[in-house]
Amino acid sequence: MSDLGEVLKKTRLEQQYTLDQMEEITKIRKSYLQAIEEGKYNILPGNFYARAFIKSYAEALGLDSNHVMELYKNVLPQAYAQPTNATSTGRRKKALNVDKVAKWVSLLLFISFFILIVVVIYLFVLLNGESDDHSIQMPEPVTGRFADSDESVETVFNDAEENNVQEELAEEQAEEVVASTVTLVEQVNNVYTYEVANTDQINIKIEYTGRCWTQIRKGDAYGEVLDEITPQQDDTYTFESQNNVWISLGNSNAKLYINDVELEGTDVGMRVQINVAGVNSI
């Protein structure tokens, strides 16, 4: 049994808690709690969750979890950095450039074809339209878009260019209004991991139905404490962040919303990891 395990077990016994009772309080399996007390961290589901379970166990026993983690940091399993998802921004820009080139090519082909038709008609009339007095019959005036002599091919070209710019702006605005999404990526016991996509900011709102200890950390479970409160019934708490955040709730007296999406599964001792897609954990 490790020194850390002895401290946790001794504290539990002094408070007259059984492992079954601690399992109900922490929502961590009894076998994992027993493995922590015996120092068998290899039984736990990965180093990240091993550290999170130890921290939650210490908090449930009323210990200073930060002091415990610092005191026994040499014997604790090391957490690994979480991989980030690569975005497809470059690919989307490349596709937009290809579409722009295709539009310009189509426009130039249209204008070239029109000029070619005018030249062919003019040459045909010039060579075959001579009258008896050798006068040259000019082609009939062109009706429609080019009936006004003040309007030239350059004017048509400028109008087409303006239309293309407006279409590109409309496409960019359409991409910008894509609604953000909140997806449950992983759940291990009372630890939930969500990913927020199509946005660069996390808007947190918590509605309380009773007294509930709440803690917000920057990045993950070991990051800087950004806020720690204990609201009362009917209180509402809001928080905004452009970084990943870790949320700890002391009990089930709370409804948690991320970007106006209610998260399901709020229970006693819930821990929530919120990651913004494409942002490294700090």
- Beta carbons within 10 angstroms of residue 37's beta carbon: 21
Task: Specify the higher pLDDT residue, 275 or 279.
Answer: 275
Rg over alpha carbons for the chain, rounded to the nearest Å, is 34
Strand partners, 136: 130
- Beta carbons within 10 angstroms of residue 235's beta carbon: 17
What pLDDT does residue 191 have?
Answer: 84
**DSSP assignment letter at 159:** H
pLDDT at 97 over 80: no
pTM of the model: 0.38
pLDDT at 114 over 50: yes
Q: What is the mean pLDDT of the chain?
A: 80
What pLDDT does residue 94 have?
Answer: 64
Task: Specify the higher pLDDT residue, 3 or 152.
Answer: 3
**What's the mean pLDDT in 188-204?**
86
User: What are the CB-based long-range contacts (under 8 Å, 24+) for 263-269?
Assistant: 263/182, 263/184, 263/192, 263/194, 265/187, 265/192, 267/27, 267/190, 268/24, 268/25, 268/27, 268/190, 269/25, 269/26, 269/27, 269/56, 269/60, 269/190
Distance CA 2, CA 53 (A): 16
Task: Specify the higher pLDDT residue, 110 or 281.
Answer: 110
Strand partners, 254: 208
Question: 208-240 pLDDT, tens per residue?
Answer: 898 988 899 998 989 999 999 999 989 999 999
pLDDT at 136 over 70: no
Name which of 12-16, 39-43, 137-141, 251-255 the model is least confident about: 137-141
Express as a percent the part of the chain with pLDDT over 70. 77
Sheet holding 271-276: strands in order across?
A: 181-188, 191-197, 271-276, 245-249, 214-218, 225-229
Task: Specify the higher pLDDT residue, 90 or 119.
Answer: 119
Single-letter residue type at 260: D
**What's the mean pLDDT in 101-117?**
89
**What's the mean pLDDT in 180-198?**
86
Decide if 256 contacts 247 (C-beta within 8 A). Answer: yes
**What's the mean pLDDT in 45-54?**
88
